């Protein structure tokens, strides 16, 4: 088991390096002179020259990458053109908002989808199951941002229940914070809930056919125990993988959701920076979010072995 965990951790480094490489490659897609692009059209010749030096544009490409990686590892994600503040600083300030949003979405989504999926499997082929399938198909078809807009219209504007913009950190004032976060979290979580619910249901259905479930019943265990202890633990493993992948959807969706609800998170920061052509910020944000995603999936991989101990042989 330990060997498996170590092996998985070993994969982490090359993956992170590859992600950085990809971001580097993407940044160089920008048409035109990177120095001009970076410093903006009003830059003086001096600015351009110093930019060229900092960016190492006179060096061969691979050397540029090396330098860039070097500064990354020291925590230097560059400096914003707009504010002249270190990008990493700004990311650090805004990241908690995004993490709160995605984590809250995750929790709410799991809260609904896991039981729903289990029940749908239990009530397989009945009307409830059918409704469930319809519900989940609808859940993956509705655009999240539109759902957010409509939710804002109904709950904020017409019913006045919830404020439409603003943010209070949950750790400062839980209930006030929740008021601000509940709508964005719910709308962001809908897609994931639908996908996870479906995955749970089909996973449970597969497991319930297996012999160890019948065996558990033959021992005299009640149906509820059979489902939650024996079936679910095994069924959860593939669902866990899906959850990890869907977290990426949450991170991506957070970008849009933060824009709709004007939350001061990384996503909104990213979008605003794109409008303003603040490329160091854009690069930094994308890199940071991607790294978080890789780490999350790593955690998921590690957790997987708890639910399916056979994996160490794979």
Partner 1 sequence: MVLRKLRKNRLGQIGLAVIALNVLVALLAPVIATHDPLRIDVANPAAPPSAKSFFGTDEYGRDIFSRVIYGTRISLFVSLFSVLFATAVGVVLGAVAGYYGGWVDNLIMRVMDAVMSFPAILLAIAIMAFMGARLMNVVIALGCVYVPRFARIVRGSVLSVKQKEFVEASLALGNGDATIIFRHILPNCLAPLIVQATANLAYAILAESALSFLGLGTPPPAPSWGNILSEARDFMLDNVWMTVFPGLAITLAVLGFNLFGDALRDILDPRLN
Partner 2 sequence: MEATLKIEELKTFFQTREGVAKAVNGVSLGIEPGMILGVVGESGCGKSVTAFSVLRLVPHPGRIVSGRVLFQGRDLLRLPEKEMRRIRGDRISMIFQEPMISLNPAFTVGDQLTEALRLHRRIGRAEARAKVIGMLRQVEIPAPEKRIDDYPHHLSGGMRQRAMIAEALLLNPDLLLADEPTTALDVTIQAQVVEIMCRLARERGTAIMFITHNLGLVAESADRVAVMYAGKIVEEGGVRDIFENARHPYTRGLMRSLPLPGRRSDGRSHKLYEMPGVVPSLFDLPPGCAFHPRCPEREAGCHRSEPPWRRIGPGHRVSCWKEGGDGTPAQG
Q: What is the DSSP string of 137-155?
A: HHHHHS-HHHHHHHHIIII
Among 3, 84, 127, 209, indicate the residue that binds partner 1 (CB under 8 A).
209
Kindly tell me the sign of the dihedral angle through the C-alpha atoms of 44, 49, 52, 57: positive
Among 192, 227, 256, 263, indicate the residue that binds partner 1 (CB under 8 A).
256
DSSP character for 226? I
Range 4-43, binding partner 1 (CB under 8 A): 15, 18-19, 21-23, 26-27, 29-31
Q: Is 205 in the site for partner 1 (CB under 8 A)?
A: yes
Stretch that binds partner 1, among 48-56, 111-119, 135-143, 303-311 (CB under 8 A): 135-143
Q: Is 313 in the site for partner 2 (CB under 8 A)?
A: yes
How far from 95 is each of 79, 282, 289, CA to CA, in Å? 17, 14, 9
Kindly tell me the sign of the dihedral angle through the C-alpha atoms of 17, 20, 25, 28: negative
Among 2, 6, 29, 218, indicate the residue that binds partner 2 (CB under 8 A).
218
Check: CB of residue 200 under 8 Å from CB of residue 233. Answer: no
DSSP character for 168? -
Chain mean position to CA 186: 15
**Which of partner 2, partner 1, none sits in contact with 111, Cβ below 5 to 8 A by type?**
none
Check: CB of residue 194 under 8 Å from CB of residue 243. Answer: no
Q: Which is nearer to partner 1, 213 or 289 (CB)?
A: 289
Q: Smallest Cα–Cα separation from 264: which of 181, 150, 160?
A: 181
Q: Is 219 in the site for partner 2 (CB under 8 A)?
A: yes
The pair phi, psi for residue 278, each rounded to 5°, is -90, 80
Total residues contacting partner 2 by CB under 8 A comes to 20
Q: Which residues bind partner 1 (CB under 8 A)?
A: 15, 18-19, 21-23, 26-27, 29-31, 137-138, 140-146, 149-150, 153, 157, 202, 205-206, 209, 248-249, 251-253, 255-256, 259, 270-271, 274-275, 282, 286, 289-290, 293-294, 297
Q: Which positions touch partner 2 (CB under 8 A)?
A: 210-212, 214-222, 230, 233-234, 307-310, 313
């Amino acid at each position: 088991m330990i060997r498996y965990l170590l092996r998985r951790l070993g994969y982490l480094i090359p993956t992170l390096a590859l992600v950085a490489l990809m971001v580097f490659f993407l940044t160089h897609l920008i048409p035109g002179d990177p120095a001009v692009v970076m410093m903006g059209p009003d830059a003086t010749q001096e600015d351009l020259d110093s930019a060229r030096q900092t960016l190492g544009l006179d060096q061969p490409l691979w050397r540029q990458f090396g330098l860039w990686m070097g500064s990354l590892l020291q925590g230097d994600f560059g400096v914003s053109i707009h504010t002249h503040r270190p990008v990493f600083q700004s990311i650090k300030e805004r990241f908690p908002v995004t993490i709160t949003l995605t984590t809250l979405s995750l929790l709410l989504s799991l809260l609904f989808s896991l039981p729903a999926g289990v029940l749908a499997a239990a009530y397989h082929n009945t009307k409830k199951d059918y409704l469930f399938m319809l519900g989940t198909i609808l859940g993956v078809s509705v655009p999240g941002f539109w759902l957010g807009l409509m939710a804002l219209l109904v709950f904020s504007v017409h019913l006045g229940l919830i404020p439409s913009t603003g943010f209070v950190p949950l750790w400062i004032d839980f209930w006030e914070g929740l008021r601000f976060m509940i709508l964005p979290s719910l709308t962001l979580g809908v897609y994931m809930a639908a996908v996870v619910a479906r995955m749970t249901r089909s996973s449970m259905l597969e497991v319930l056919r297996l012999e160890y479930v019948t065996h558990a019943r033959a021992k005299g265990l009640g149906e509820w125990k059979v489902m939650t202890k024996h079936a679910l633990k095994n069924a959860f493993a593939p669902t866990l993988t899906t959850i990890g992948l869907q977290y990426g959807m949450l991170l991506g969706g957070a970008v849009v959701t933060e824009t709709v609800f004007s939350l001061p998170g990384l996503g909104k920061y990213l979008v605003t920076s794109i409008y303003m052509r603040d490329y160091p910020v854009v690069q930094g944000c994308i890199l940071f979010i991607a790294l978080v995603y890789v780490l999350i999936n790593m955690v998921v991989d590690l957790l997987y072995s708890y639910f399916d101990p056979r994996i160490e042989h794979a």
